[in-house]
Structure 1
Amino acid sequence: MKVLLQVAAAGLVTLHAAGAAAAVSADEARQLGTTLTRFGSEKAGSADGAIPEYTGGLSKPPADYTANSGKWPDPYSAEKALFSVTPANMGQYADQLTPGADALLKRFPDMRLEVYPTHRSASYPQWVLDNTVKNATSAHLVGKVEGDGVAGAFGGVPFPIPKSGYEVMWNAMLSYRPTEFSVVNMGGQLIDSSGGRTELPVLNITEYRPYFDQKNAAGNFSGPYLRAWIQAETPPTTAGTTVLVDYSSNYSDTDQVSWAYFPSQRRTRMAPDYKYDTPSSSYGGVLFWDEGNVFTGRMDRFDFKLIGKKEMIVPANNYRLSQLPVDDVFGPKHLKPDAVRWERHRVWVVEATLKADARHAYAKRVFYIDEDSWTFVEADGYGHDGKLWRVGIDYQFPLYDGGGVFALCYGFYDLQKGNYFLTFTNGANGAPLLRVSDHLSHPNLFTPAGMSGTGLR
């Protein structure tokens, strides 16, 4: 753990005080577009060349891509792994392994990480880059509790030159996504400690991000930055059950708001407990509500400290994972190694420690955020006994048609129970389909009345 939380090599990153909340100066912001990309990552590659220079990301779809088909072919399908990290040779890569990867390799003799060439594939529309540069000198943390909200930012990375753990976390939660995306037939599997496989509920999901809706560009942005509509398609006993969750840009002003529609009752009601460490019933209790997308929600129960930036081996560009047959993805103890693509990337490391007067199932959490996409790639949860309990991993892939990253292919390993799960895999009706849009096309979904109308069965 010591090695993994060390500050990166001299010159790689500057650490900042965790309590800072002010925007950067105009002089400091001039790094954006020079030594830094306009969204805040280091433009240069790594010293050994394993991480290349950033040259604009992947913005041209491969030849076999069909717009609005819902399918995202792998542009790197012809590549072969450079090397494998196994329990036998993991010592050679100790300083590049997260605690989660380290624990999985030590626990499972047949575990291995297939490490491919690194591609800095994340790309951004020009208007998002322009907004990010503006945000650098205007965005600031607000709220009665540190990290409770963001003001002075819209339509871009709020803190491209972050000065605290809270700012890095908000960058991840406000990382660029298309204004609306919808997922149809999102399956998942839960593997128990004996290797038995249980299909998780098949979900249809539509997410709307007002923060990235250009219609909201005028004035100071406020209100929910994300509205998530989630409906169960299977099993038959819960088909039609629908949840709508609003995630606030300032929790001191407006807390997270949730509604739920139950077909058996034919009514929509408030659901105030869909937050923090409330177990998600749809996932058999193996996922907390604040672990959606590895982490989503309010940060008031933890102190978030910025540890630094480090070069680490993490999942990246996992286009093919969700398209594979289930038997090619799930092993009895862990995901099958050939299904997952790993690369070396620079990631921000943020450590969250439970406040003395707060309650949560975790005593400590450590988050790893990719420097280019600003998305969570791993979240490690520690129990009150100090031991690593759960390892959350996101198998994201960049969207080459319009920019942004898809990050709903994620799962958690429970090291105490010995089970694990993964979302966004083949479901009852085949592979999941992902469609994106730069405008809100289904506004009626995001009202209690609209939930009732779509939830009938």
Structure 2
Amino acid sequence: MKKVFGIVAGMLVIVSHSGTALAAVSADEASKLGTSLTEFGAEKQASADGAVPAYTGGLTTPPADFDPKSGLIPDPFKDEKPLYSITAKNMSQYADRLTPGVQALLKRFPTYRLDVYPTHRTMHYPKWVLDNTLKNATNAKLVGKIQGDGVEGAFGGLPFPIPKDGYEVMFNSSLNFQRTQYEDQAKSWLVDSAGNRSELPENDANDYRPYYDRALGQGKAPHNAYDVYHVVQVSPPTGVGTAILAYTPINNSVDDQTTWLYMPGQRRTRMAPDYKYDTPISQFGGVMFWDDLGLFHGRMDRFDFNLIGKKELIIPYSSYKYLSTPPDQLFGKEHLNPDAIRWEAHRVWVVEATLKHGERHAYSKRTFYVDEDSWAIVEADAYDPEGKLWKVGFDYTFNYYDGGGGVFSATYNIYDLQKGNYFGTNSGGPVDGRPLIKPSDTHQKENLFTPAGMAGTGMH
């Protein structure tokens, strides 16, 4: 459930003080988009060793067994075989392309394995998103009372295709292209330290992104929100009808993140102001905090986000197989089944977030790895107050090949290395005839996304 919902040399960027607007890139810099860079800011060329191929337009042709009405997303690479596998025994050969989180998992679990497949740069964008990205490149800027609080001058595309600091990369990940709306079955499981698997409350989830709603237009979103998320619980019976609605603003200096909770037993909607930062999510067994949703969600005011640069890494990618693997086959006693995870070599932006002096959070540091093509956070490593690696999270993204483009990034898992348990979302296929994932390019079920409408949608 998402939100309930080689390093480039010399690329360390020193950012200005908070409270001022940072200027957009110049027209000369923006001219790189569509030439040496793709229109969305990734490097066009292949890597030096060819492991990362040149970008040629993404995956736009569905496999023969794709049915857009089914809610299924068949794996277009199901017949491919791994190029090689990485285990604890040979990981030293690939250490320069493995994150600290991946290395920790390989060292801890003898059965953990990375099957590395040919790299496919599948992400693609419709023309209107690319056109807006080009406009945003010279118009968008960071604004707010605190650095990283918000964005101005951007709509319907990547705000910072040529990022200058960690905050811009993080906003690209928040505002990456994920279609205007989707609905899915938000199913999750928790595996405890003894290897016992428990199914967590299941939700019907609907995610609406006003930022990509062409019919709405720039600056017209409710509560200045770039994302509006609604979930209603459908199991177990004791919690059926419980609903959550969350508005995430594009500028936290203007509007705060706002969350409402509907409880069927009380028959009323109330505000839930604590659903943010490092408040544990109780229904996920405490494995994740509210700002762990989607690997990061919320305001960036408690950390300094520093851009380390770009690096070629082996990351989970084109994770169609994960999505369709039944829970009994996916969730092992210590970790996810390696057979269900596809790994590829890609270039990622690396952002290191360090807790500010005087601020409070359970994490002292977080490192985010953001794919250059989709701008999705594909991994997040989190460290405890003593600086020890604590949690390792992965997002198992995939590209929509139905012609509309975009990335789905609501399928993720988090390992708690201290407790020895882990959590994962979204697998196993449709249940009771409901679609597993249903994207839309227009706003649907508008009443679903209002506090006044929560009581009606929460009645099951």
Please report the TM-score for the alignment, with normalisation by the length of structure 1.
Answer: 0.95
Is residue 18 from structure 1 mapped to residue 19 from structure 2 by the alignment?
Answer: no
Is residue 128 from structure 1 mapped to residue 129 from structure 2 by the alignment?
Answer: yes
Shift of 1:91: 0.1
- Residue 426 of structure 1 aligns to a residue in which SS? coil
2-structure distance, mates of 1:120, 1:322: 19
Cα distance change on mapping 1:19 and 1:225 into 2, 3 Å: same
1-structure distance, mates of 2:100, 2:340: 21
Greater displacement, 395-404 / 86-95 = 395-404
Report if aligned partners of 1:152, 1:220 keep a CA contact under 8 Å in 2: no
2-structure distance, mates of 1:417, 1:285: 10
Is residue 406 from structure 1 mapped to residue 408 from structure 2 by the alignment?
Answer: yes
State the match for 2:451 in structure 1: 448
2-structure distance, mates of 1:76, 1:329: 18
Gaps of 5+ in 1: 1-6
- Residue 368 of structure 1 aligns to a residue in which SS? strand
Report if aligned partners of 1:188, 1:427 keep a CA contact under 8 Å in 2: no
Shift of 1:432: 6.3
Report if aligned partners of 1:389, 1:416 keep a CA contact under 8 Å in 2: yes
1-structure distance, mates of 2:137, 2:14: 17
- Residue 139 of structure 2 aligns to a residue in which SS? coil
Report if aligned partners of 1:187, 1:432 keep a CA contact under 8 Å in 2: no
Q: Which letter does structure 1 place at the counterpart of 2:69?
A: N
Shift of 1:328: 1.4
State the match for 1:271 in structure 2: 272
- Note the alpha carbon deviations across 1:379-409, whole angstroms, 9 max, x for none: 1110001100000110111111211111111
State the match for 2:424 in structure 1: 422
- Note the alpha carbon deviations across 1:139-179, whole angstroms, 9 max, x for none: 00000000000000000000000000000000000000110
2-structure distance, mates of 1:52, 1:178: 26
Shift of 1:373: 0.2
Q: How does 1:99-248 map to 2 (within 5 A)?
A: 99-184=100-185, 186-217=186-217, 223-248=224-249
Report if aligned partners of 2:114, 2:343 keep a CA contact under 8 Å in 1: yes
Report if aligned partners of 1:15, 1:163 keep a CA contact under 8 Å in 2: no
Q: How does 1:29-428 map to 2 (within 5 A)?
A: 29-184=30-185, 186-217=186-217, 223-401=224-402, 402-426=404-428
Give the number of aligned pairs.
448
Shift of 1:311: 0.2
Shift of 1:217: 3.0
- Residue 32 of structure 1 aligns to a residue in which SS? coil
Report if aligned partners of 2:323, 2:429 keep a CA contact under 8 Å in 1: no
2-structure distance, mates of 1:9, 1:246: 36
- Residue 233 of structure 1 aligns to a residue in which SS? strand
- Note the alpha carbon deviations across 1:167-193, whole angstroms, 9 max, x for none: 000000000011010003x32211000
Q: Which letter does structure 2 place at the counterpart of 1:442?
A: K
Q: Which letter does structure 1 place at the counterpart of 2:14?
A: A
- RMSD (Å), alpha carbons: 1.6
Shift of 1:361: 0.6
Identity %: 58
Shift of 1:216: 3.0
Shift of 1:98: 0.8
2-structure distance, mates of 1:432, 1:190: 23
Q: Which letter does structure 1 place at the counterpart of 2:60?
A: S
1-structure distance, mates of 2:14, 2:28: 19
2-structure distance, mates of 1:203, 1:288: 18
Report if aligned partners of 2:203, 2:235 keep a CA contact under 8 Å in 1: yes
Q: Which letter does structure 1 place at the counterpart of 2:224?
A: G
Gaps of 5+ in 2: 1-5
Report if aligned partners of 1:314, 1:377 keep a CA contact under 8 Å in 2: yes
- Residue 344 of structure 2 aligns to a residue in which SS? strand
Cα distance change on mapping 1:258 and 1:220 into 2, 3 Å: closer
Shift of 1:228: 0.4
Report if aligned partners of 2:326, 2:429 keep a CA contact under 8 Å in 1: no
- Note the alpha carbon deviations across 1:83-107, whole angstroms, 9 max, x for none: 0000000000000001110000000
Shift of 1:18: 3.2
Q: Which letter does structure 1 place at the counterpart of 2:187?
A: G
Cα distance change on mapping 1:218 and 1:304 into 2, 3 Å: closer
- Note the alpha carbon deviations across 1:357-379, whole angstroms, 9 max, x for none: 11011010000000000000001
- Residue 328 of structure 2 aligns to a residue in which SS? helix
* Structure 1 stretches of at least 4 aligned residues deviating more than 6 Å after TM superposition: 219-222
